[in-house]
Each structure stands twice: as C-alpha cells, then as structure tokens.
A and B are shown apart, each in its own frame.
Chain A
Amino acid sequence: MDPPSFRFLFETEFSYVWNTLRRLGVPERDVLDQAQEVFVVVHGLLPDYDASRPVRPWLFAIAYRVACRYRSLSRNKHELPSEDVPEEIDPAPLGDEKIEADEARALMLEAIEAIDLPRRGVFILAELEEQPVPEVAKALQIPLNTAYSRLRLAREDFEKAATRLLARRRTAKRAADPDRSERQVQR
C-alpha cells in the first residue's frame, strides 16, 4: 500500500495535529508554530510510514515528540497545576451540575496535564481517541504490557485530577454565587 501523500495528510489531518498539540499542553499561541514543526517531521518520515497502520497514532507519536521538545525548552515551561496543594475534596456527586462544553474542554486539558508524562500519550490515544491499546503500543513503540499498565495508571491520575478540578470549580462557583447555594440550603 502506498503511503498517503503529504498534501493529503496536511489537508485531512491538520486539525487532528492541532488538537493533539493542544492536548499535549502546547498553548494556543504556539500551536501554529508547533503544528508546522510536526508537519516538517511528517514530511521527512513519510517514506517510512507503514501505510497498513492507522495514520493518527503515527501522527500522534510525532506530535508527542514535538510537544515534548517544545516543553523542554525552558521558556515554554509553565507552572503545571500542582498536585502538592492537596485540596479538600468534596466527595458529593458532580453529576447533576451543568457544565459548558468549553469549560469542560478547558478542565479536560488541565486534567490531562496532571497525568504523568509517559502515561499521558497512552491516555490520550487510548482513552480519548479510543484507539486499540495494541495500536497505541505500536505507535509509541512501547511493549504492550507497558501500554496497558500506563493506561491503568493514567486513568487513576486522570480521575484524581478531574475530581479535584471539578471540586475546585464547584467551590469557586459557590463563592461567586452565594445566593444560589443559600437557596439550595434553604430548600
């Protein structure tokens, strides 16, 4: 099978690369530049691409390296939401809260950021993109067992972070809208 043309990949997968970089923690203002870096590497590697494999995990692996490199430049390091400030987590269920899609996405990015780095790629591919784990392992060039265990640990990281973030949000909402919570209490 012939590999797809570079142009075809650019046309069809630019958005995928863009969103992947966002998920990998590249801030909005730098995504354009980093997306270009990804495609420069894609261009170089395309002859080696095995067209019998799905293209997205392959692109993801490239974007992952580019994002890691981007982040390793000190000027691009930004404070991550730190785990070392343990907040009191209100264990009440969060299910009935309405959350806007944009806000949910912002929280999602923050939660992803809290996943330990080697696990993050596995999580995004397997959980978010629903790629089969064997495919993920191949794309990231790690043993299958490693992929499974990273995924398990990543889910734990994610769950912890997302729960914390949602609790923080709720606390902030209550502080911003005391009337409402009072009403709720009275009711």
Chain B
Amino acid sequence: MNDTPIPARLRVLLEAERARADAPDDAKEAARAKLAARLGPGAGLDGADPHDGGGTDDGAGSATPAAPAAPSNGALAQAPSGLAMKLASALLVGGLVGGGVVATVAKPAERIVYVTAPSTPASTAAAESASGAPRPTASATGAAESAPGTTVPNLPVTALPDVTPARPPAQAAAASAPVAASADGGRDTDLSAERALVERARSALARGDAAGALAAVERHEREFSRGQLVEEREVLAVQALAASGRAQEAAERGARFRKAYPTSLLLPLVDAALR
C-alpha cells in the first residue's frame, strides 16, 4: 500500500509485526492431533503426517494422499463407492492402526469413538460391511442401537488423552458441546448416540438426501430435546429445510437459531444455507 499515511517513524512497528515468526511446531502438532480427534477422518488430518512413515498397508498408503483431496464430507460421498469404501476403511482401520502395533488397542478405539463421525455414507457402509474389526460407534446407527457390549462407556476416560485436554474448563463455554461433554465420562453414551444422529443427518445432507437428514434431525429432537448437540442439530435442520426447498420454514428456523445462539460460531453456516 503505497499511499499509507502511517508516518515513517511508526512503520518500524508494522515491519516488525509483519516479520512475526511462525507458530511453534509443537503447537501446530498439538492442534493437528486435537483437530483430527474432533473432526474425524473427513478432515484428512488423521494419520496424515507426511513425515510419519507409519502407514502399514496399501490401504493406509493410498488413503493418506487421497484424504486431502476430500475437503468436505460431500466430496467423499460422491466418490465411486468402491474407492470410497476402500478409503473409508483405510482411514478407519489402516490409518488408525497405522502404527501397526496390536498393543495399541486402546488407541484405535479411542480414535473411533471421537471419530464417531464417519460422516459419509461410504464410510458408514464400510463400517457396517467390514468384517472382523470391532466397530464400537462408527456405525451411523449409533450407540443407541448397537450391541451393549460394544458401546463407548466401557472405555476408561483415561483412554482419551487427546480429547480431554483439548477442553480446559476455561474453554468449555466457547466450545461446541460435543467434546466438552466428553470430559464427563458419565454422559458419553448419550453423547455418542446424539452424535451418531447428528452425523447421520450430516451425511444424509452430504449425499443430497434432505429428507433423510430431516428424519434424523426430527429423531434427535424427540430423543434429545435438551441434548448437547442441539446447536449443531439446528444448523442441520436449517440446511436440510433449505435443501428441500422449504425456504420459508428454513428462514424461520434460522431466525430462531439466531435468537437462541446469537454468538454461535455456526451462524455463518446458517446464513449460507439461507442465501
């Protein structure tokens, strides 16, 4: 900007600030680990460290470069199902067991819990069809419907090192409900059941199935009227209504959302849906 009227004697400050160093590497790695846990495999951060030659099989190997190409759940959902299945199972199994050591049983379990978001129909299909590997809550049908023996609460909270510290109390208020509640071991069952429904709505939406999304939203409303993911569900409700052409209802629900969550970080999603 050549026309800057900032006086030369003050520009030294601007220059110094522009030369601010990069974020510390350890902070970046910490953020990567926590985000991978929070956002699930769709984010492409999981086991995707290019310097971590941890891939043990072809599946993980091919998943790693492919994952970044999937910016949204939608992209994965549109992939040819064979590839998507391979990808999804690689992400869920190969990618997670990446270290290749069976002794890390708690580790994949931990990941899968917080990755409950296989957020794509493909990965759900993979989760349901894959044989052998235990799959606690990966199925979009969720803990509410899965066999009791495979539900989350059996996991000691200590098996979730990545997640708990992600939520220091100071941040709980600023954070979206899901992980905040994970620090509270007693509510994990409800939370994962809730999360499964929300994820079902999300993946339905991602494949263009607005009716399916609305069905999941409505079920969440019935079963978790005071749940921890109400804010997320409401966003999905607006998106699903908008996607099914019910503009008026979408706008009304969006307005209610704005009123209920005036500082929501998800507001831009609502706005985008209503545009």
Contacts and interface: CB of A to CB of B under 8 A. Distances in A.
A44 interface: yes
A22 B17 CA distance: 11
A30 to B, nearest CB: 8
B247 interface: no
Interface stretch (A82-90, A114-122, A156-164, A170-178): A156-164
Interface residues of B, number: 53
A104 B168 contact: no
Nearest to B232: A44
B12 A22 contact: no
Given A7-B43, A10-B32, A14-B31, A72 B23 contact: no
Contacts of A95: 8-9
A56 interface: no
B23 A65 contact: no
Interface stretch (B70-78, B85-93, B137-145, B215-223): B70-78
A185 interface: no
Contacts of B263: 69, 72
A109 B13 CA distance: 9
B68 interface: yes
Contacts of B30: 32
A108 B13 contact: yes
A162 B24 CA distance: 27
Interface in B192-215: none
A46 interface: yes
B173 A107 contact: no
**Which of B12, B38, B44 is most buried by chain A, counting CB atoms within 10 A of its CB?**
B12
A2 B69 CA distance: 10
Interface string A38-55: 011101111110000000
Contacts of A130: 1
B133 interface: no
B181 interface: no
A48 B67 CA distance: 19
Interface stretch (B105-113, B147-155, B251-259, B266-274): B266-274
Given A45-B272, A127-B14, A39 B265 contact: no
Given A5-B44, A40-B38, 20 more contacts: A2-B71, A5-B69, A6-B39, A7-B43, A10-B31, A14-B31, A18-B27, A37-B265, A40-B35, A40-B265, A41-B265, A41-B268, A44-B266, A47-B72, A65-B268, A94-B9, A104-B12, A104-B15, A128-B14, A166-B9
Interface of A: 2-8, 10, 14-15, 18-19, 22-23, 30-37, 39-41, 43-48, 62, 65-66, 69-70, 72-73, 75, 93-95, 99, 101, 104-105, 107-109, 111, 126-130, 155, 158-159, 162-163, 166
Interface of B: 1, 4-10, 12-20, 22-23, 27-28, 30-32, 34-35, 38-39, 43-45, 48, 67-72, 74, 166, 168, 170-171, 173-176, 263, 265-266, 268-269, 272
